[in-house]
Homo-oligomer: A and B are copies of this chain.
């Protein structure tokens, strides 16, 4: 790879990415473009502008964008159509944000004539893979720089020395090491590392960033009604809202009631296990409600196929293959299934749990006439069941007869 001349950096404004910014300038002597995205992580973005300017970035090279609506509409919602859970439990909050950032990095590179992009993910994690696979899938000629895999700033001490030597301001609370590492966006907050590294020890309460401890949540349950159209949430308690507004509102509700905490040891794509504490308040409620509306609007053939495809779909997103033909194939199948997934679900929130308690829809496939214990007026002929069972049993009978014959 020849040296880059102009690099678009995913820049948070924090210490680490500021060091990367400076390192790119000094190591490669290249022009740096910064991209700072509001994904709903709950931080002010404007300080990042000032910091970038301070570090010598030209105003026209500073990109600060609110991408929350795009994030929820084009990434989070399509993923929730699939009821995606990685390893049975993880709602993929970090994974799903990476392709969007890469997409914007590559687009800004095209706009600004940059030949490279850079990110601040380490060489041990999944995020490097997600950033880079997305970037390469969108521009096969792009260079990707991952300073954490390249440089020799391998200890906290050396990082701080580099920062000081390069006049990078260091916030007081960044002098010492954080007790764990945090990533956040509108869908979730993850915490990992350091005090959390032993999966046999409970995570301390102070790890929680956005969800009230269930024990401190309100003593009174709260109901929330979520309305779906074609598989996507479109209203809360009857009020139509934008995708990002919906997720924001569900985060408030779920967070207030202690919903969405997950303590997980997961398998990273790069081969080792890691332990994380995930907080996904709104997403947890949304998944429950989406399952609820599918229960009455989705046929069993479609639903069972979806369930069987889901683990692979979730794995693709986790591994960084959002922009891959196979994810797009699965998405086409999943989206096809959602055409009639419209209606409303009532979810009960209480001290850590979110449970569907009612759901209704004009599209409902539920037929009281067929299922009723009462007289069904001929909707269903119970005698049909005899034939159904006989033919389903036929191969089992032939097997049993064969096996008996062979033993006898």
Binding site for B on A (CB under 8 A): 83, 87-89, 122-124, 128-129, 132-133, 136-141, 146, 148-149, 154-155, 181, 193-194, 197-203, 214-215, 219, 221, 261-268, 270-275, 291, 295-296, 299-308, 310-312, 315, 320-321, 323-326, 328-330, 332-337, 340, 346, 350-353, 355-360, 362-368, 370-373, 375, 380-404, 406
Contact = CB atoms under 8 A, between A and B. Distances in A.
Contacts of A267: 299-300, 303-304, 395
11 contacts: A133-B389, A136-B400, A139-B400, A199-B364, A215-B221, A271-B392, A299-B398, A301-B326, A302-B326, A325-B399, A388-B388
B396 A137 contact: yes
Given A214-B350, A272-B380, A308-B308, A395 B301 contact: yes
Contacts of A141: 401
Given A202-B357, A368-B197, A371-B272, A340 B402 contact: yes
A89 B312 CA distance: 18
Nearest to A287: B88
Nearest to A306: B329
7 A-B pairs with the lowest CB-CB distances in the bound complex, closest first? A387-B387, A123-B382, A271-B394, A267-B300, A200-B360, A384-B387, A140-B397
A366 B304 contact: no
A141 to B, nearest CB: 8
Contacts of A200: 358-360
B329 A202 contact: no
Contacts of A265: 295-296, 359, 366
A169 to B, nearest CB: 23
Contacts of A401: 140-141
Nearest to A277: B357
A296 B402 contact: no
B406 A363 contact: yes
Contacts of A385: 123-124, 128-129, 146, 149, 270, 387, 391
A245 B139 CA distance: 41
A228 B198 CA distance: 19
B400 A138 contact: yes
B199 A296 contact: yes
A273 B138 CA distance: 20
A145 to B, nearest CB: 11
Contacts of A296: 199, 265, 273
A197 B335 CA distance: 30
Contacts of A350: 214-215, 351-352
Contact of A340 (B274, B334, B406): B406
B305 A400 contact: no
Contact of A263 (B149, B264, B356, B402): B356
Contacts of A373: 181, 193-194, 197
Contacts of A402: 340, 363-365
Contacts of A362: 406
A382 B148 contact: yes
- The interface centre, meaning the residue of A320, A353, A358, A388 with most chain B CB atoms within 10 A of its CB, is A388
Given A197-B373, A265-B366, A325-B399, 8 more contacts: A132-B393, A136-B397, A140-B400, A141-B401, A200-B360, A272-B370, A325-B336, A329-B333
Contacts of A365: 273, 395, 398-399, 402
A302 B273 contact: no
Nearest to A133: B393
Nearest to A374: B194
